[in-house]
Amino acid sequence: YGGGLQKKPTSGGMKPPAPIGNKNRNYDKPWAVPEKKKSSEAGGEHDKNSFLHHVYPDGVGPDADLIMMLERDVIDKNPNVSFDDIADLQESKKMLQEAVLLPILMPQFFKGIRRPWKGVLMFGPPGTGKTMLAKAVATLGKTTFFNVSASSLASKWKGESEKLVRILFEMARFYGPTTIFMDEIDALAGRRGGSEESEGSRKVKSELLIQMDGVGSSSSAGANDKQDDTEQRKNIMVLAATNRPQDLDDAIRRRLEKRVYIPLPGEEGRRQLFKINLKDIKVVENIDWESLVHKTDGYSGADISNVCREAAMMPMRKRILAKGFDLNNIGNMAEEIDIPLTMTDFEEAIQNIQKSVSAESLKQYDAWMREFGAL
């Protein structure tokens, strides 16, 4: 294995003082994690096919905790989203299939002038389906799905984020073909620069650039080999998302060669969103869908989900308001409130749920799209 990970030290060094109090610690092996953290006991997740086992066959080593955290928090075993679950966005769906999925599925075709993009960026307001699109791509391609929330990783492993990025990509190669979805990429690769920028954040960015260039990190002996590298690149696609494209570091933005705007849903999108959200809910026959579509102009997909959820709660709220709670009669109540939703329920829900995206921020996306968009 030629990765850049710190291998388990082989020499014991000086013998530390006799153990006091902590029976789990192995003082002959100061690098060893306490017994209870051993991979085999961590819910059986780390089997013999895991990356952890590949790096540390006995499950212990200096980077074992970091690897375990990544395996637990980043790998989404079952993204299970179909493109049909996603309202509208026809163009984006087609584009992602072409730019992200096909290069992984038929690497022999994507060579030379057809070489795959180094990375694809989805940008636009929050709650418009970017995460769902990433999951749908991974589901359809049956690739391993890495769901990386850049902001939570950056805060969890402050100071070690650079190592974390390197291990993340090594792990992605190991589990390949892999779609790496980096949500809120601006949190890991923001545009700060100058004296405000910390050494740590500079290092994370340069590691990310190295990995995205597919050159392999300087400490990964194996990955420096050019041939090896091309083989490995085929195995990974980086799909990033941001609500703040204007905050993105310039060099990272250039690596994300293909940039797709994921806008707020239009009329047709909103019509489909109501249908998708209410597929298991009873509604009365005379709902004026066109009026609801009209009233939710400017709402994101997530806002419309919230409207539907709010409307679906209305019968319960009204019943409790009218008759109060009868804890001895909950069974009857559940039946009584499972009634078809009415137009009034939806209208009240729309009153309660405001749209979450401001007109001002939409202007910014448009401006960024004109300057840097590449569809």
- The three-state secondary structure class of 144 is strand
Establish if 260 lies at the interface with ligand ADP (CB under 6 A): no
Measured from the CB atom, the residue of 59 and 124 that comes closer to ligand ADP is 124
Establish if 263 lies at the interface with ligand ADP (CB under 6 A): no
344 token code pair: 């009034």
Judged by CB under 6 A, which stretch of 209-217, 300-308, 310-318, 342-350 contacts ligand ADP?
A: 300-308
State yes or no: 230 annotated in a binding site. no
Cβ neighbors of 356 (< 8 A, separation 6 or more) are 125, 126, 127, 299, 300, 302, 303
Question: What is the size of the binding site for ligand ADP (CB under 6 A)?
Answer: 16
Judged by CB under 6 A, which stretch of 19-27, 64-72, 126-134, 144-152 contacts ligand ADP?
A: 126-134
CA-CA distance, 170 to 175, in Å (whole number)?
9
Establish if 150 lies at the interface with ligand ADP (CB under 6 A): no
Measured from the CB atom, the residue of 251 and 302 that comes closer to ligand ADP is 302
From 5, 70, 89, 312, residue interacting with ligand ADP (rule: CB under 6 A): 89
Distance in Å, CB of 56 to ligand ADP, minimum: 34
Cα of 354 vs its chain's centroid, Å: 26
Establish if 81 lies at the interface with ligand ADP (CB under 6 A): no
Distance in Å, CB of 360 to ligand ADP, minimum: 18
Measured from the CB atom, the residue of 170 and 183 that comes closer to ligand ADP is 183
Strands 144-149 and 75-76: antiparallel
Distance in Å, CB of 367 to ligand ADP, minimum: 19
The DSSP secondary structure of 219-273, one letter per residue, reads: T-TGGGSHHHHHHHHTTEEEEEEES-GGGB-HHHHHHS-EEEE-----HHHHHHH
Cβ neighbors of 151 (< 8 A, separation 6 or more) are 184, 187, 188
CA-CA distance, 359 to 298, in Å (whole number)?
8
Strands 178-183 and 258-261: unpaired
CA-CA distance, 15 to 23, in Å (whole number)?
16
> Binding marks (x or -) toward ligand ADP, 30..69, rule CB under 6 A?
----------------------------------------
Measuring CA to CA, which residue among 244, 245, 154 is closest to residue 203?
Answer: 154
Establish if 167 lies at the interface with ligand ADP (CB under 6 A): no
State yes or no: 9 annotated in a binding site. no
Establish if 130 lies at the interface with ligand ADP (CB under 6 A): yes
Q: What is the footprint of ligand ADP within residues 176-215 (CB under 6 A)?
A: none
From 3, 61, 116, 301, residue interacting with ligand ADP (rule: CB under 6 A): 301
CA-CA distance, 318 to 348, in Å (whole number)?
12
Q: What is the footprint of ligand ADP within residues 233-252 (CB under 6 A)?
A: 241
What interhelical angle do 301-323 and 330-337 show, nearest 10?
130
Residues flagged as binding site for ATP: 124-131
Which residues here bind ligand ADP, judged by CB under 6 A? 86-87, 89, 126-132, 241, 273, 276, 301-302, 305
